[in-house]
Amino acid sequence: MAEITFKLNGESRNIDVRDGESLLEALRNRCGVRSTKDGCAPQGQCGCCLALVDGKPKVTCAQKAHKVEGAEVLTLEGVSAEERRLISESFVAAAGLQCGFCIPGFALRAKAIVDKNPSPSREEIAKAIDVHLCRCTGYIKIIDAVELYAKARRGEGDPVMCDDGRVGQPLRRYRGLDMAMGDRPYVADMDVEGLLEGVVV
């Protein structure tokens, strides 16, 4: 075990990590971060575990925890309440999520895209999210969501979510706001007090 010190969502953290432990494992198991999801560890191919390290998007399952010594790490938990609202409402309004498992990675990528360029083109958005894997939503709606978020960040109107269920309208996804931010718990996110090991049957 070795101790590392870094900033997580604006707060200084000191944690002990095992030799070879990934940043994803450290964030989830030692820091209680749940927005980063394990979709393919340790391959770094799907983007579900995205975090911003010193402002740059990084897949945390493929990065060793000790490499963030002295760095600043941002996850969705550290994004401002107003930005979280705009991002989540944009994904829900655009119908940019279904199961929601991969969306927190896309959501944080959206922030990184718009932080760098307040008016990204669809081609620029598509190129930036090309490193992400979505298994059920498809990418057109996700690009739509990033466009909506960029527009809202520019002050050109908040996303409008449909609640009336008319034919042809993208009805608001049940618990979509929570899913977009990684707040809806999946099985791997659930903590059972005293549990050493569990198996889903």
Q: What letter represents residue 156's amino acid?
A: E
Dist. CA 105–CA 125, nearest whole Å? 14
Cβ neighbours around 155 below 10 Å, total = 8
pLDDT greater at residue 15 or residue 166:
15
pLDDT of residue 3: 96
* Structural contact between residues 15 and 25, judged by C-beta atoms closer than 8 angstroms: no
Give every strand in the sheet of 2-8, ordered side by side. 11-17, 2-8, 72-74, 50-53, 56-59
The pLDDT of residue 170: 65
What are the start and end residues of each CATH 1.10.150.120 domain in the chain?
81-180
Q: Tens digits of per-residue pLDDT, 57-72?
A: 999 999 999 999 999 9
Q: Which residue has the tokens 């604006």?
A: 10
CA atoms in the 13 A half-sphere facing the CB of 21: 20
pLDDT over 80 at 193, yes or no: yes
Per-residue pLDDT band for 44 (boundaries 50, 70, 90) equals very high
CATH topology classification for 81-180 = DNA polymerase; domain 1 (1.10.150)
Give the CATH H-level superfamily of domain 2-78.
Answer: Beta-grasp domain (3.10.20.30)
| Residue range 1-20: mean pLDDT, rounded | 96
CA distances from 199 to 39, 42, 84, 187 (A): 18, 21, 33, 10
What percent of the chain has pLDDT above 90? Answer: 84
- Give strand pairing partners of 13: 6
**Strand 50-53 relative to strand 72-74: parallel, antiparallel, unpaired?**
antiparallel
Q: What is the pLDDT of residues 66-91, one digit of tens each?
A: 999 999 999 999 999 999 999 999 99
At 117-139, the pLDDT tens digits run: 999 999 999 999 999 999 898 89
More confident residue, 116 or 195: 116
Q: Which residues contact 167 (CB under 8 A, 6 or more apart)?
A: none
Read off the pLDDT of each residue in 152-172 and give the average, rounded to a whole number: 86
Q: Do 3 and 15 touch, CB atoms closer than 8 A?
A: yes
70: its two tokens: 């002295």
Question: Which two structure tokens, joined as six digits, stand for 33?
Answer: 């971060």
pLDDT of the residue at 169: 72
**Please, where in the chain does CATH 3.10.20.30 lie?**
2-78
pLDDT reported for residue 201 = 84
pLDDT tops 80 at residue 165: no
The predicted-structure confidence for 166-191, as pLDDT tens digits, reads as follows 787 768 899 999 999 999 999 889 88
Q: How far apart are CA 68 and CA 115, in angstroms?
A: 22
**In this predicted structure, what is the pLDDT of residue 164?**
77
- Contact yes or no for 105/47 (Cβ under 8 A): yes
Residues in the chain: 201
